[in-house]
Amino acid sequence: MHMAHDDAGMTLVELLISIAILGLIIGPLVIAMYMGLSTAKAATGRTTDSTAAQLLSAYFPTDVESSDAVRTSGFTCGGAQTAVEFEWTDAGTGVKTDVEYTLIPSGGSDSEDQFRRQAYAVAGGTCTKTSDDVLVQAVDPASSTTVTCLPTASCASPLTQVTIDVTAFAKKPGGSALYSKYTFHLTSTRRVG
């Protein structure tokens, strides 16, 4: 008796052709996904830069204009990382407010230094924090944040202008090389009188 063999299967040639066609389909999909993720990271960096510019330009001029005193040292509430302190007393309530623009060092190798605006209510020599806002998510540690006062460098009264420069940056994924670096340069004038 003779048994019939079932030839319902794939030959080696058919299998190789199927794998080649599958590679032609999956290759462009993987490339498109990689490019999409790379573009998303760059777009996030640009959005972060834009948000930082908006926050700085919203807070900084108001704080400069409101200030009775501007300090770049000898802070009431700030510490060693404070770039500038603005102080004023509310005419209606008599509450003294200190606003610090402070560089907060990163907590580890995967995080970046942040530039923050911290506001305090001051009573009897005690500083009570009322707000803490991140203005710039990632500050370039190689560039210093600078504050310049005109007409004098000491920021003592009667000063008319305060300028601040903060350099933001973003890292390339998986490395320390920069793909985005931008310096925020803001100048505002105090109200006098």
The string of pLDDT tens digits covering residues 73-102 is: 888 888 888 989 999 998 888 889 999 999
pLDDT at 191: 76
> Cα(153)–Cα(71) distance, rounded to whole angstroms?
11
pLDDT at 97: 93
Ramachandran assignment for 16, one of left (phi > 0), alpha (psi -120 to 50 degrees), beta (any other): alpha
**Residue 48: band (very low, low, confident or very high) from pLDDT cuts 50, 70, 90:** low
Say yes or no to pLDDT of 154 above 90: no
pLDDT at 166: 85
Q: Is the pTM of this model over 0.85?
A: no
| Amino acid in position 131 | S
Burial letters for 127-162: b for 16+ Cβ neighbours within 10 Å, e otherwise? beeeeeeebbbbbbeeeebebebeeeeebeeebeeb
